[in-house]
Structures are given as structure tokens and as C-alpha cells.
Structure 1
């Protein structure tokens, strides 16, 4: 999700000792390798599809056994009053980082990632769009993951953050992005052994076919970001043709939705249109990038839109 600046620190603080005690108590089998195989990166799943050992972002999100055995972590998450999607503890080994990237997948169009550091040291730096911060233990941060960002663990110890994805409520966004009061007036969330808070988790149910209104929203958002890698007549002409292709795609998808609905009838017609747009867009998008993060226009179209147009079955 795009934000108005790279980082926002939320005016709330958590019990570091309790956070660290619960995380340290997790058994070794709670930790699994990063799904992309990044060396030195591992995670413990806290909220996942079905509460299982999966990194899927589709389906009913539920607490895992690791979160069930961590009552303060649950209290921390429930206290924000938002609906949580996939959430994990993410660990970086000493001297390891997360390579620079931008999060362009469909999942991130409407979601932001909350970071609450648990184990960290001043040598750990989070970089986003030319800015760099150290997120201290017990703090809460969000950042604009549409911009290019990376992390460096320059410490001689593991860095572990609680990271949780949400679309957020209006109250959450006011809390997160308004001018904060002085730090000594920030809310502190103490460990409450008697608390049994309700944790809200996402039910990411997809229709078999993406509705026309969502396609129009996603494509329109992409179109506002298109820029030229080099300002040449060829690139300008290609950009104009790419724009026309996207406009036509939205119009034709709307007609197919009007004819078949979005419950799954006429899947083949939808797939044929998506495939035709994919083949036409690939060469036209050469030399076109996203203004904010310089990601390739075709790659964003593919990952944010085309890959998600038709599900094998509704979930």
C-alpha cells in the first residue's frame, strides 16, 4: 500500500521483556526457512491460512499453535482492533539482510505491514526510498512497501520482528499517520494475564473471476504510475499503445463479466482475454517502468493483475 512518506512510527509502546520471553520460548521447530529461500532469513508463522504451516495469503486466516501459546503477542495484535492477514515473526541472522525490492504483488495493493521489533540492536537498519531508520524493540512502525526497500542486520545477534499484514480501519490509519504527541504521552500496552482479547483475522475469499470494478481499479492505479525509462519518441509511442491496450482490456473484461458473471461460468473466455493481453503487453511495456519504484510495467501488470484474474475455483 502506498503511503505519503516512507516511514511512520505509531505512538504506542509494548512490553519488551514479555515480548522477548514469549518469542524465546518458541521451540526450534516453530522456525521455517524464508519462502523465497533467502539465506539467513527464517520465520515463525503466527496467523496463516487455516492456522497451518503455509505461507498462502488465500483462505481463512487463523492463529497458529505458536500464536495460541503466546498470549501477549495475541494481546498486542488484538489491541489494534484491525483484521489481520498473514502474520509472522521474521528473523534475520547476524550479518544478513533482505535484498532491495518493492512489494508489487496483488496482496499488497490494499495492505500494509506492521513491524514490532522484538530482538534488535542499533546496528539493524531499515532502508526505504533513500531514508534509513532503526526500529527499536517494543516500538511499532509501518512503511511504504511499494517503494524500494531493504534491511541490513549489522549486529552480531539475530534480529526478530513481529510483522503483521492488515488493510487497517479508519481509526488505525488516523492513529498511524496523524502527527504523534510527545513520546512521553504515548500509550504503553502492558502485559495483562487476565486479558482474553478477540483477535480478528481475514477471510480472503476470492470469486472465481475478478469483478470488473476491481480490474478497473487495479489497472487504473497502474496507469497512473507508468513512466518512461528513457524519454524517446519510441518509448512515448509504446506508452501510448500500452495505455490503449489497458483501456481496451478493462472494457472487454467488463463485457465478459456482464455476459458470464463472476461465479466461474465462461472461465475459458476470461482466460483467453487475459492471455491475449499478456502477449500483447509484454513487448509494448519494454522501456516502461513504475514512477515510484522503477519496477517494470509488465512485471507489475502480471503480478498485480493478470495472475489473479481467474481462480481455478472460488475460495
Structure 2
């Protein structure tokens, strides 16, 4: 039997949990006394990009370094994702987020003002075959405040939890007089989260070209070789736009623990925090198990690249070194 294809999957799915819309809306008052920052994109190099010119504002609840002013979704870089001070003011929403069975990156409250319309765009990293998904939990909305995703118009309701394939073309449009506020949650897809999808999705999620990540380990084990650790990585491995991550010239790289305790890979002048997959394998923080590293204890480092259930790997020489 042929495995189901992502190309034929629906553009969105409502997940099984629903949450208390009244409590979510009531809590929102605790964080609306000030003007939120403008929505920004995340650019190559780990920086926040240019601010949007429409009335589309963001309050970060989880961000790189727990920065309460950073409104972009973040990505791989020297900092890990952490809760901001704003999440402390939203205890019910914090409880909801803790219930999501998946490693979590950015979480943002996103407010689309009256009359705001975004340009059509794609967010290519949020793909099931990359193991990264974006969820929406609406808090306030209006029938005239819509998401158009892959040509289909959606108006998701407060308290519902939705998955959307935002690698497809989409835009948001608010022609009402009210502000639409959604909680936008970026997570890694796990088998536990996949179980929240409707029954009609389960064949794709269990047999299709989907990358399932591990849940965050209960205990973080140290890097299994002595640090600092020297290796040489193909130039494509830390380039998240590269189509062939295992190819390219070999560049000197170093893995070590930073003063704040974060295990960090430094290559080509850039630093990347690493996150544990299990006891021996590590991924880039802010990314999925689409790219991982695993020391073999025998003078080598295994680099692995996944696309759905497909796996490619490459062993490069590596060893502990004198600081």
C-alpha cells in the first residue's frame, strides 16, 4: 500500500483538546495595558528582521533568551527559548501550554488590528516532514477576521486548538472593527502531539513522510565525550536554507559548555545552542531532529539529516581537545 502524501493533506486540522475561552479572554486584560511590539520576522544569523507596516502586534510569551520585547519567532542561535515575564501574568494560558506534549519554541500572542491585511506569504520551515508545526489557539476573534490558508478561508473560534500548514501560501485579513488575538505556538511534532490530530490524519502521521521528534527528556544528560570537543562540519550543516546539509567544504567547529550551562556548537563564527534528543544525540535548539549530532566515542561524530522518515548520515572526524 502506498504511504499517504503530504501533498494531498488538508491545509488545516482542529486538534482534539479545547480550552476555556472565557478564562483565556479574562486573562488577556492583564497584558493589554501597554502597546505591544510590531510583528517581526526571523532572519538568517538569528536576528529579528524588519517590523511589519500593518497593525499586527505581538506579545512574546516564550522567546529566545526569554526576551519580553522580542516579537519574531526566533530560530537556531546562541540562546535557548524561555518563558518571558508576560507569561507569569497568564496562569491559565501557561497551564494550557504545559499540557502540549511537545518541545516548544516561540509562543506569541498576535493581535491583528481592524483593517489590517498581510501580504500573502509562506513560512517554509513549518512542515510535517521537517517535524516543525505551528498551532493556533484563538482568544478573541470576529467573523470578518480571517486566515486565508492555501486558498481556504478560516475563522477559528476562541478556545479551539488548530494546526495549519503554514508552509503553504497564506495571509491574514481583518475587516472588522475588533482586534483578533491568537496564541501562536511553535512546537516540534511528536507522536504524542500527533495523537491530538483527527482520526482522518492518523494514517498520514503514522505512515507518511512525517518527522516525529522525541519529547523533551526528563533529565538532560551531558555530552557523552570530554569537552571542549573539536570537529569539522560540512558548510551546509549549520546553514538552515541549504538543500544538502551534509555537503560543502569542511569547516572547523567546536562544542563546549557556555558559562550559563548551555551546550554550544561554534562554527564559521556563529554559535548555536544544542538541545538533547535522548542520552547521546543532540539537535539545534530552535530546530527539530531534522539535523542532529551524535559522538560515537571512537574519534568520530555522526551527522544525521532527516526528511520525513528518510535518513541520511555522515561521519566526520572529531575528538576532545585541550582548551
TM-score, structure 2 normalization: 0.57
Whether the 8 Å contact between 2:109 and 2:183 is mirrored in structure 1 is yes
Residue 7 (structure 1) aligned with residue 22 (structure 2): no
Residue 179 (structure 1) aligned with residue 235 (structure 2): no
Residue 88 (structure 1) aligned with residue 103 (structure 2): no
SS in 2 for 1:20: helix
- Greater fraction helix: 1
Deviations 1:161-211 (A, max 9, x none): 00010012111013225338xxxxxxxxxxxxxxxxx9x9xxxxxx99995
Residue 47 (structure 1) aligned with residue 68 (structure 2): no
SS in 1 for 2:200: coil
For 1:158 and 1:102, locate their aligned partners in 2 and report how far apart those are by CA, in whole Å. 23
For 1:178 and 1:210, locate their aligned partners in 2 and report how far apart those are by CA, in whole Å. 45
Partner of 1:234: none
Task: Tell me by how many angstroms 1:157 deviates.
Answer: 0.2
SS in 1 for 2:136: strand
Deviations 1:55-86 (A, max 9, x none): 34342211111101110010111111222101
Gaps of 5+ in 1: 181-197, 201-206, 223-245, 269-315
Pair 1:171–1:122, CA change in 2 (3 A) = same
Please give the residue correspondences for 1:189-268 in structure 2 after superposition, counting only pairs within 5 Å: 211-212=233-234, 215=237, 222=243, 250-253=246-249, 256=250, 260=252, 263=255, 267=268
Task: Tell me by how many angstroms 1:22 deviates.
Answer: 0.7
Whether the 8 Å contact between 2:236 and 2:247 is mirrored in structure 1 is no
Task: Tell me by how many angstroms 1:30 deviates.
Answer: 6.2
Partner of 1:158: 179
Gaps of 5+ in 2: 1-5, 41-50, 202-215, 219-228, 256-264, 270-323
What root-mean-square deviation, in Å, do the aligned CA atoms of Structure 1 and Structure 2 show? 3.7
In the alignment, which of 104, 108, 122 is matched to residue 124 of structure 2?
Answer: 104
Structure whose alpha-carbon radius of gyration is higher: 1
Residue 75 (structure 1) aligned with residue 106 (structure 2): no
For 1:24 and 1:133, locate their aligned partners in 2 and report how far apart those are by CA, in whole Å. 25
Deviations 1:185-239 (A, max 9, x none): xxxxxxxxxxxxx9x9xxxxxx99995597499789x5xxxxxxxxxxxxxxxxx
SS in 2 for 1:101: coil
For 2:185 and 2:230, locate their aligned partners in 1 and report how far apart those are by CA, in whole Å. 27
In the alignment, which of 126, 141, 159 is matched to residue 162 of structure 2?
Answer: 141
